[in-house]
Copies of this chain bind each other. A is one copy, B any other.
Amino acid sequence: MSRVVKLAVIPGDGIGPEVIAEALKVLDAATASSDVTIDTTHFSLGANRFLETGDVLTDADLDAIKAHDAILLGAVGGVPGDPRLVGANIERGLLLKLRFSLDHYVNLRPTVLFPGVASPLANPGDVDFVVVREGTEGPYVGNGGAIRQGTPHEVANEVSVNTAFGVERLVRHAFAVASARPRKKLTLVHKTNVLVFSGALWQRTVTAVAAEFPDVTVDYLHIDAATIFFVTDPARFDVIVTDNLFGDILTDLAAAISGGIGLAASGNINPSGQFPSMFEPIHGSAPDIAGKQLADPTAAILSVALLLAHLGLSAEADTVNTAVTADMAARTGEARSTATIGDAIAARI
């Protein structure tokens, strides 16, 4: 019996369309001989769409996207400083709006230093961890405001909102992820000594949920100390659970130590399945190199592997991961175009 997966594709801006073309090539190859058919719908969203129509993400767009089983996104965002984009904030209006509207409370960001890949660290060790970042709360909620803007008496506030509901479901998911991994270790990263109210909620929740997962070892690091270990001993980490902003910071640093953001994939996941989950490379739209076939599509391709795993197609996901691993091990340092890398990975499937 054949299965049809309805996939919403948002190539976006800059290098987004280039890396998505390769990701779809690999997705095709990985599902070619299976009984799964991927039925894609392309959505033109991002800075270009805004410049053409003035829309960032309409309710109609959102409804159409919701009617899909999953989303694959390239990258969104225009040229920094483009005067025509002033006030548009594509990141908040599109990317964050999707994460919040589709209740993507698990922002899953695995970090693996693949054999053959160079790290800026002299002795990176065996890097293989996953950051389980909260995706719908914290300082990202947009509950900020300012008074007397532009005057010497301006006050600009940002509110980080953390709920027991939101923290607990994320923490429970992170424990489940840790419990399914060989090392079964979970590190909470926060700043409990300064952010005492949200910190207490996170700490208390981790302690409570830990009782349900006696096989998982738990520890805690302040965000500042965590960045130290990311460069001195990243191999110590297995699963990290953290809030939206700390997760944002840690995952860029994680990408940097494991070969760069050209390799870092992510899933914005709604585990209940109520809304489609969204898979995207963590890199941005990099307008400076767009259209030149200079971008590495590997992060987008690894995001396809996360997508396949999320859909329960673990054999297909493994195929993609194996092909990527082989490609990385064979890299010689010679520059290859975006399409050449995509072709090489697809050919290994």
Q: Measured between C-beta atoms, what is the minimum distance from A194 to chain B in Å? A: 6
Pick the interface stretch among A209-217, A219-227, A272-280: A219-227
CA distance A152 to B201 in the complex (A): 11
* Contacting pair A139 B195 (CB below 8 A): yes
CA distance A160 to B197 in the complex (A): 13
**Contacting residues, chain B, for A4 (C-beta < 8 A):** none
* Contacting pair A201 B144 (CB below 8 A): no
Q: Measured between C-beta atoms, what is the minimum distance from A247 to chain B in Å? A: 10
User: Across the two chains, which residue of chain B brings its CB closest to A201?
Assistant: B156
**Contacting residues, chain B, for A204 (C-beta < 8 A):** 150
Q: Is A291 an interface residue (CB 8 A)?
A: no
| A234-261 vs B, Cβ < 8 Å mask (1 yes, 0 no) | 0000000000010011011101110011
Q: Measured between C-beta atoms, what is the minimum distance from A14 to chain B in Å? A: 15
* Contacting pair A228 B256 (CB below 8 A): yes
* Contacting pair A261 B228 (CB below 8 A): yes
With A91-B193, A151-B164 as known contacts, state yes or no: A228 contacts B253, CB within 8 Å.
yes
Q: Measured between C-beta atoms, what is the minimum distance from A87 to chain B in Å? A: 10
| A149-162 vs B, Cβ < 8 Å mask (1 yes, 0 no) | 11111111111111
With A120-B123, A121-B122 as known contacts, state yes or no: A157 contacts B197, CB within 8 Å.
yes
User: Across the two chains, which residue of chain B brings its CB closest to A166?
Assistant: B155
**Contacting residues, chain B, for A232 (C-beta < 8 A):** 120, 256, 260
Q: Is A140 an interface residue (CB 8 A)?
A: yes
* Contacting pair A200 B146 (CB below 8 A): yes
Q: Is A303 an interface residue (CB 8 A)?
A: no
* Contacting pair B231 A120 (CB below 8 A): yes
Instruction: State the 9 A-B residue pairs at the shortest beta-carbon distance, nearest first.
Output: A224-B252, A144-B197, A154-B164, A227-B253, A228-B256, A156-B197, A156-B201, A91-B193, A158-B160
Name A's B-contacting residues (CB within 8 A): 89, 91-92, 96, 119-123, 139-140, 142, 144-146, 148-165, 168, 191, 193-198, 200-201, 204, 223-225, 227-228, 230-232, 245, 248-249, 251-253, 255-257, 260-261
22 A-B pairs, CB-CB below 8 angstroms? A120-B121, A120-B122, A122-B122, A139-B158, A139-B194, A146-B200, A150-B204, A152-B164, A155-B163, A156-B162, A156-B201, A157-B159, A157-B197, A157-B198, A158-B160, A191-B245, A191-B248, A194-B245, A224-B251, A228-B252, A228-B255, A231-B256
